Chains A and B, each alone.
Chain A
Amino acid sequence: MKASFFMFFDYLSMMGVPVLLVLLALDAAVIHSGVLGIILRVLIGAGCLVYGAIGIREVFVHGRRRHETAGQ
């Protein structure tokens, strides 16, 4: 898979969602801010939807092609 628009969001959500989840845990344990918790949940939800959608494309659409070379 070439570096692409999709790949940017794939990597962004792959690394971003875990960071947001850890921040959510920190918020729950230390900060206790309701607004921050909701903002984090919105970002996590959006990130997961993007990650899942790109994953479906990558694994179940792109990965199923039989006549594909690694460079394509």
Chain B
Amino acid sequence: MSPLKSPRDLRGPQVRIGRLLRFHREAFIHVLAYRIMVPLTILFGAVVLLSIFLPGLGTVLKIFTAVIWILWTPQLFEVAKGLSLAWTRGMAFGRLNEQFAHLYRKRYGKRTGAYIAFPFIVLALWAAGFVVLLLWWQP
């Protein structure tokens, strides 16, 4: 009996994110920000915890928080978008064909306007928080 062939993913390893740019720019921005953010987040976590005991780190913490805040924006937007997609069974931000979408609307009668607005509302709150933090936070 011949040994089973190991399955191979023809899309290649996930580290090659540049290929996303050709067909999905939003996903590319999201993944790129995530790649940059991952090591920075560990450093940021350490700085946040250290700053509780070392008040002299205040300015570093504020600048670092601003950087992490900006890098976290695409993640948050995609998460909010994903939640809208799941809550509406793919009717908001999904790519259902017209017949299928029509049947879904008939079956569930769901309006998608609020769900489409949801990620943008989250983004607005996030941006407002950023401004507030920059203006009033004195760590």
Q: Please give the residue numbers on chain A whose beta carbons come within 8 Å of chain B beta carbons, in ascending order.
A: 14-15, 17-18, 21-22, 24-26, 28-29, 38, 41-42, 44-49, 51-53, 55-56, 59-60, 62-70, 72
Does B129 count as interface, using CB distance less than 8 angstroms?
A: yes
Give min CB distance, A48 to chain B, whole Å.
3
**Pair count A-B, CB < 8 A:** 112
Bound complex: CA A29 to CA B42 (Å)? 27
B14-59 interface (Cβ within 8 A of A): 14-15, 34-35, 37-46, 48-49, 51-52
Give how many B residues have a beta carbon under 8 Å from the other chain's beta carbons: 42
Are B138 and A52 touching (Cβ within 8 A)? Answer: no
Bound complex: CA A65 to CA B34 (Å)? 18
Are A49 and B42 touching (Cβ within 8 A)? Answer: yes
Q: Name A's interface SS.
A: helix
